[in-house]
A and B are shown apart, each in its own frame.
Chain A
Amino acid sequence: MSTAIEFNHVGKQYRLGLVSTRTLSHDINRWWQMAILKKEDPYLKIGETNDRTKAGSSEYVWALRDIDFKVEQGDVVGIIGKNGAGKSTLLKLLSKVTGPTVGTIRARGRIGALLEVGTGFHPEMTGRENIYMNGAIMGMSKAEVSRKLDEIIDFSGCERYIDTPVKRYSSGMTVRLGFAVAAHLDPDILVVDEVLAVGDAEFQKKAIGKMQSVSQGEGRTVLFVSHNMENVKNLCKTGVIMENGRSVYRGDIVDCVNRYLDLEKDVFLTETVISDKYRKFIHYKQMEFLNVKLLNESPHLALDEEIAVEVTIRRNEASKTRCTLEMMIDDVMQRRVGSYISEVLEVEKDLFTVVMKLRSHNLAKGKYYINFNLGLKEKEFQYSDFDIVYGVLSFEIAYLRNNGEHEPIQLWKDSWGRCQFHDATVEMR
């Protein structure tokens, strides 16, 4: 097998803060040092690794540094890492959206990037026109799109609306159409950045199936970035773990996922001040989350221990007097384990705090993340969302009983599921 992509000491440096301040003086200095004095670029020497949690002394950081690996042809590589580890930057370099600061990337064949679906969609143009537009942006010729047009329309499931301007589409339809075009791009190297998070379950399945057939059946190389460990595990053969702009581990995907989860294992969020980093969609925020807190003594809980959270909410629109609070719990693979929706709460103040206690949750041993949804859910098909935040708290179920003894749970296999039922009777007859 030959090498499809080769990263050779690739690095990308960014400048922090406002780019527009003092750039002219920096530019002149750099030009003076390099062109006249024939020295090295003075700003390339400084710069630190990219750790966003620590304040650094330099205003230059390396978003990527010393990336050095090869991808074999037909390989499906999952790239995993925390937010800001440099995953997206890596894909951006590969798709030529921006250039590296140092190093070389070499590749064989056409690269198709799926950094966001529906790029270049114009709301005033019809679905059909946008298919051509989107295809051409991604490097297909007109003839190529024409040849695959029926297939694309069929895959998207938007046949009825194909001659309607895209501005009349629902957001789900737009995404479907965008992915349909991208899926028929037929590049030799496919670069995908977590586009599967959108669309309904049926479409996600379709999308993953398409990616699998692209990689397995047609022997193409795929680079896949996702936070969803289950998708990564299902799709990829090998993986790369990124941390602070460096690739820290490369190997079999199962090893990678386990190692990554291990890295995360002992980090728990017990109180979080909400910022947009925890939102995937920006809702209208008639009410919004300000702060969430785990009220339990420690994030290491027992099987029968209640999960207590305190949520501080601000009301932005005085006309809203009712809301429902929903707590959704995900496991480490980002699978939704379960949800609890509160009764309708009457809101009287603009700033209020809700304490929610979840008893008899039956959660099995393991680490979990809590998401919150604030909205108004009264009947099944009649609800609205004000604000949704993801992964804001985390805890683990580690002990058997909460009677002060702290007896650890010794054995629980992942394949047994995420619920450990414990209130049952067993009789011999």
Chain B
Amino acid sequence: MAEATTSPQEEKWDIVIKPKDKLFSVDFKELWNYRDLCSLFVKRNIITQYKQTILGPLWFIVQPALTVIMYMVVFGSIAGIPTDGVPRPLFYLAGTCMWNYFAECMTKTSNTFVANSSIFGKVYFPRLVMPIADVISNLLRFSIQFGFFLLIYLIYSIADPDCNAHFTGYAFLFPVLVLMMAGLSLGFGTIISSMTTKYRDLQVLFSFLIQLWMYATPIVYPLSQTGSMRFMGVPVHTFMCLNPVTPIIETFKYGFLGCGAFVGWRWLIYSFVFMCLLLSGGIVVFNKVQKSFMDTV
């Protein structure tokens, strides 16, 4: 056999394509090499979203504004759910901004393989670039909405100095909270997109689950509203906090509006650990699927 005699030169291959790699073989160095591509995808996502529209980026603000008005009518006036004494628009806007970022990122990233199969079928680049670019471009959208929130906040505090909303020290956790949101959505998104390449049902299931999920998260109502309710002997509060998004939203609201009470470090750390595990799991699964998804998608 000619192959048996391996010269020392044989060792220096730049590219080795094998059917199966080890489970944890995510090539972060390669990913870093493609950072320019990532930034271009971010640019593309932002530029193309509102091309040929009159309002352009203003749509980023119109969406949450209309949502908040709707919530004020439905959950505020009709259902009469209290908002911990904080002005309603501020309360809903804070929740909507954060939740929108999470939901939007997740919807986008969970669709990665199916939506981009035409590009992925033609050329190779680390597929992870795509969901990461989605998360980053949504960050811009989020920061515009967050700016809008701060603006409304400012108007409120000038017009009505006695309104209950006030900053607390937890507001400094803001960057961490956003990072956790991004991590969670990327984690969920990559796992779902990996699974939808084969079983397309998950996409349908997921698109309506995410709507239900919003109601399981204290967006349109304060967590304090659960009070001393119990379910099977366990406080409902605990169930709510098992949802990893809840501690983040609650901390955000407590930090910026001072409403309710801090959920406690214990839950925030739980949420953080959850995010880390989910994200690493998601990336590993995604990485495994990306090698062969073209055959199944």
Residues of A in contact with B (beta carbons under 8 Å apart): 2, 8, 14-15, 19-20, 23-24, 92-111, 113, 115-116, 119-120, 122, 124-125, 129, 132-133, 136-142
A-B contact pairs, 28 of them (CB 8 A): A19-B296, A20-B200, A23-B296, A93-B17, A97-B122, A97-B294, A98-B295, A99-B292, A100-B18, A105-B15, A106-B15, A106-B16, A107-B15, A109-B14, A109-B15, A111-B15, A113-B124, A115-B122, A119-B122, A125-B48, A129-B43, A129-B44, A129-B47, A136-B36, A136-B40, A137-B119, A138-B123, A139-B33
How far does the alpha carbon of A324 sit from the alpha carbon of B199 in the complex, in Å?
48
Please determine whether A133 and B40 come into contact, CB atoms closer than 8 angstroms: yes
Nearest-CB residue, chain A, relative to B19:
A100
Interface residues on chain B, number (Cβ under 8 Å) = 37
Please determine whether A125 and B44 come into contact, CB atoms closer than 8 angstroms: yes
How far does the alpha carbon of A139 sit from the alpha carbon of B31 in the complex, in Å?
11
B291 CB contacts on chain A under 8 angstroms: 98-99
Task: Answer yes or no: B230 CB below 8 A from chain A CBs.
Answer: no
Task: Answer yes or no: B208 CB below 8 A from chain A CBs.
Answer: no
A120 CB contacts on chain B under 8 angstroms: 119, 123
How far does the alpha carbon of A99 sit from the alpha carbon of B25 in the complex, in Å?
15
Pick the residue among A24, A93, A104, A138 that contacts B16 (CB under 8 A): A104
A111 CB contacts on chain B under 8 angstroms: 15
How far does the alpha carbon of A115 sit from the alpha carbon of B121 in the complex, in Å?
9
Please determine whether B121 and A97 come into contact, CB atoms closer than 8 angstroms: yes
B266-297 near A? 1/0 per residue, CB < 8 Å: 00000000000000000000000001101110
A138 CB contacts on chain B under 8 angstroms: 123
How far does the alpha carbon of A399 sit from the alpha carbon of B40 in the complex, in Å?
62
Please determine whether B51 and A124 come into contact, CB atoms closer than 8 angstroms: yes
Q: Which of B212-231 contact A (CB under 8 A)?
A: none
How far does the alpha carbon of A106 sit from the alpha carbon of B14 in the complex, in Å?
8
Query: In angstroms, how far is the closest chain A Cβ from the Cβ of B197?
Result: 10
How far does the alpha carbon of A179 sit from the alpha carbon of B24 in the complex, in Å?
36
Pick the residue among A24, A103, A124 that contacts B47 (CB under 8 A): A124
B36-56 near A? 1/0 per residue, CB < 8 Å: 110110011001100110000
Please determine whether B13 and A97 come into contact, CB atoms closer than 8 angstroms: no
How far does the alpha carbon of A20 sit from the alpha carbon of B33 in the complex, in Å?
35
How far does the alpha carbon of A8 sit from the alpha carbon of B292 in the complex, in Å?
19
B148 CB contacts on chain A under 8 angstroms: none
Contact status of A14 and B295, CB under 8 A, knowing A107-B14, A132-B40 = yes
Please determine whether B123 and A101 come into contact, CB atoms closer than 8 angstroms: no
Task: Answer yes or no: B9 CB below 8 A from chain A CBs.
Answer: yes
Task: Answer yes or no: B172 CB below 8 A from chain A CBs.
Answer: no
B13 CB contacts on chain A under 8 angstroms: 106-108
A108 CB contacts on chain B under 8 angstroms: 12-15
Query: In angstroms, how far is the closest chain A Cβ from the Cβ of B295?
Result: 6
Contact status of A124 and B17, CB under 8 A, knowing A95-B123, A108-B12, A138-B123 = no
Task: Answer yes or no: B262 CB below 8 A from chain A CBs.
Answer: no
Nearest 7 interchain pairs by C-beta: A96-B124, A136-B37, A99-B291, A105-B17, A106-B13, A98-B294, A119-B122
Nearest-CB residue, chain B, relative to A123:
B48
